[in-house]
Homo-oligomer: A and B are copies of this chain.
Amino acid sequence: MNKTEKNPQASLIIIGNEILSGRTQDVNLAYLAAELNKVGVTLAEARVIPDVPDTIVETVNELRAKYDYVFTTGGIGPTHDDITSECIARAFGVDYELNAEAHAILLAHYKEGDLNEARLRMARMAKGAQLVENPISKAPGYRIDNVYVMAGVPMIMQGMFQSMKHLLDGGTPTQSRTIGAEVPEGRVAEGLGRVQEEFADVDVGSYPFYRGGVNGTNLVLRSTNEVQLEAATEAVRNILRDMGAVPHEGEFVKPADRKD
């Protein structure tokens, strides 16, 4: 169950053939998820879709109706496969037009003669777009209604998110605690299920690992309720102690790899 469902709910649309072909490893989802936790917004779903106009339009319209916030990454550069902005305009039923403010930013950034037709695409947006600063390479992202349009290049996406996050109306930040142990998941499962039943406001997750011959488990507890979170974490520690295991604070790392 998703225990942070009282917070505003967001979805992410990762747009790009390069992700679905396996060429590019997405890292934007994990970054966005962690940042949204901090401002009290829950990432409830993500979709990875190709550079196909109808698919982009339909996905944007489905998710913007369903979630408080929609974030998109990818497809706002200068090339023929950068079609996100045209699709956002179609999704909202508004004109796809040169944004005067974005145009001015690009004019100021590029040397005379370098702002060619291809680069001008980066200033074409859905009418009504509210720009979001790009501190890395200048061509801006934007917000339209509850949809936040960002670049796919991680460094630029991160810069844009930091520029836009004050626009989000979040709830309570989600905190997490992790306890690692050299105990197989199957041995800790029963006790863990009881902890989950007892602490309804805490999301209790169990993630096995296999490292250097050790078959162990990282136990992750997440909640917007810090009191419940601490109590549930102590209950998990006690389960481990009762079976003779040592609860490690944080993700389990082999003693030999430790820096402390």
Tell me, in angstroms, the Cα distance from A153 to B18 when the chains sit together.
23
Q: Contact at A46–B21, with CB atoms within 8 Å?
A: no
**Known contacts A24-B207, A29-B26, A52-B2; A80 and B17 CB within 8 A of each other:** no
Contact of A205 among B17, B193, B205, B207 (CB under 8 A): B17
Q: Contact at A22–B17, with CB atoms within 8 Å?
A: no
Work out how many copies of this chain go into the complex: 2
Contact of A48 among B37, B46, B51, B210 (CB under 8 A): B46
With a cutoff of 8 Å between Cβ atoms, the chain B residues found around residue A117 in the complex are 190
Tell me, in angstroms, the Cα distance from A139 to B34 when the chains sit together.
31
Contact of A21 among B20, B81, B121, B222 (CB under 8 A): B222
Q: Contact at B1–A21, with CB atoms within 8 Å?
A: no
Q: Contact at A18–B220, with CB atoms within 8 Å?
A: yes
With a cutoff of 8 Å between Cβ atoms, the chain B residues found around residue A78 in the complex are 185-186, 189
Query: Which residue of the partner chain B has the closest CB to A4?
Result: B21
The reply on A203 being an interface residue by CB < 8 A is: yes
Q: Contact at A186–B43, with CB atoms within 8 Å?
A: no
**Known contacts A48-B45, A116-B186, A153-B208; A193 and B21 CB within 8 A of each other:** no
Task: Identify the interface centre among A31, A208, A210: most chain B CB within 10 Å of its CB.
Answer: A208
With a cutoff of 8 Å between Cβ atoms, the chain B residues found around residue A22 in the complex are 29-35, 37, 43
With a cutoff of 8 Å between Cβ atoms, the chain B residues found around residue A188 in the complex are 79
Residues of A in contact, count (CB < 8 Å): 70
Query: Which residue of the partner chain B has the closest CB to A55?
Result: B45
Q: Contact at B45–A80, with CB atoms within 8 Å?
A: no
Q: Contact at A23–B220, with CB atoms within 8 Å?
A: yes
Q: Contact at B50–A47, with CB atoms within 8 Å?
A: no
Closest CB-CB distance, A183 to chain B, in whole Å?
12
Closest CB-CB distance, A83 to chain B, in whole Å?
10
With a cutoff of 8 Å between Cβ atoms, the chain B residues found around residue A116 in the complex are 186-187, 189-190
Give residues of chain A (181-225) contacting chain B, Cβ–Cβ below 8 Å.
185-190, 192-193, 196, 203-210, 220, 222
Spell out A's residues near B (CB within 8 Å). Answer: 1-2, 16-27, 29-35, 37, 43-52, 55, 77-81, 114, 116-119, 121, 136-137, 153, 155, 174, 176, 178, 185-190, 192-193, 196, 203-210, 220, 222
Question: What are the 6 tightest A-B residue pairs by CB atom distance, in nearest-first order?
Answer: A22-B33, A118-B189, A22-B34, A80-B193, A46-B48, A119-B186
